[in-house]
Amino acid sequence: MTSTTAAVRASVAVLAALALASCAQPGAEPTVAPDGPPPSASASAAPTASASPTASATASPGITVATHDFEAQDGAVRFSLPEGWSVDDRSAMHEGSEMYDNGPSWLNELVVLDEDGDRMLWYREDYGNDFLECREVSADAERTEITPFSEELAAARAAEGDPIGPTFALAELGEAAQFDAAGEPGEWSVVMGVVTTLPVAQDGCSDLTDVLWSGSRVVLLDVVGDAEREDGIPDPTIDFPDEQSARAWLESAEHDAIIGVLQSLELTDAPLLDAAP
């Protein structure tokens, strides 16, 4: 697929000092959309992945069965990958956060690559433990329920009186201008990532957030497009020339393979490390 525009995802922060932009993001890199053209420059780090083949969990009908597992160096996240897919591991030590009185710490940033080296998913972590961000969701959004939180992490959240709600792989589509003011008439886009349910809906937005609580850190996970913003942040929007093409992608084998990876996702209660693992 091709992409000519950069996405601007509309979200509303409900806690004033809790925008990820205000924290040090793990280093972002240009990204390539599913089936998109190759990047003009190669990735800054060589793809790495655990190589031990395993029997994957049962997948939903039509979902690509994953064939080998990946685990972050600090054990904070695990997922399974289809044959030939890999992970570009950009995790590193990051400066401390005065806001959360935490760090310096090891924070994970992982870019999932398909068999052609095109970037499919962008996983990144940041400091925080009380981060809430809600946003509007289109009425016809595709929701695929997933269970990414480990039993230990879910139990810890419940013990604090704030149990984790249903979590979804959420795909929204609409006219490109809905996500980017520079979108051309007739063009359509898909925005896809992982969201979880807030305990109570906030005024002015839905009860969903794309910020996942993972014990001593917060996590964001998006399907990425083949464009990048001027600041180098990958574009979590996949652009298409028309509505038919956008809807067809939601029925494609590539889409199903991505869902398979997200269904295998497991966030653990691993603590933040004060040194590289």
Residue 52 has pLDDT above 50, yes or no: no
pLDDT of residue 130: 57
CA gyration radius, the chain? 18
Reference 240, options 3, 22, 55; nearest CA is 3
Contact 45, 92 (CB under 8 A): no
Token pair for residue 263?
């269904």
Q: What pTM value is reported for the model? A: 0.74
Residue 57 has pLDDT above 50, yes or no: no
Q: φ, ψ for residue 263 (rounded to 5)? A: -70, -25
Instruction: Count how many Cα atoms sit within 13 Å of the Cα of residue 212 in the half-sphere of its side chain.
Output: 30
pLDDT of residue 219: 95
Backbone dihedral region for residue 35 (phi beyond 0: left; psi -120 to 50: alpha; all else: beta): left
Residue 192 has pLDDT above 60, yes or no: yes
Residues 6+ apart with CB under 8 A from 200: 207
Reported as a pLDDT band with limits 50, 70 and 90, residue 277 is very high
Reference 6, options 239, 219, 193; nearest CA is 239
pLDDT of residue 213: 87
Reported as a pLDDT band with limits 50, 70 and 90, residue 39 is very low
HEC readout, the chain: CCCCCCCCCCCEECCCCCCHHHCCCCCCCCCCCCCCCCCCCCCCCCCECCCCECCCCCCCCCCCCCCEEEECCCCCEEEEECCCCEEEECCEEECCECCCCECCEEECEEEEECCCCCEEEEEEEECCCCCCEECCCCCCCEEEEECCECHHHHHHHHHCCCCCCCEEEEEEEEEHHHHCCCCCCCCEEEEEEEEEECCCCCCCCCCEECCEECCCCEEEEEECCCCECCCCCECCCEEECCHHHHHHHCCCHHHHHHHHHHHCCEECCCCCCCCCC
Reported as a pLDDT band with limits 50, 70 and 90, residue 222 is very high
Backbone dihedral region for residue 161 (phi beyond 0: left; psi -120 to 50: alpha; all else: beta): left
Residues 6+ apart with CB under 8 A from 112: 81, 85, 86, 87, 88, 119, 120, 121, 122, 123, 261
Mean pLDDT across the stretch 212-224? 91
Reference 213, options 276, 126, 93; nearest CA is 126
pLDDT tens, 109-145?
999 999 998 889 999 999 986 556 666 777 789 999 9
pLDDT of residue 129: 64
Higher pLDDT, 157 or 94: 94
pLDDT of residue 140: 83
Reported as a pLDDT band with limits 50, 70 and 90, residue 268 is very high
Name residue 17's amino acid. Answer: A
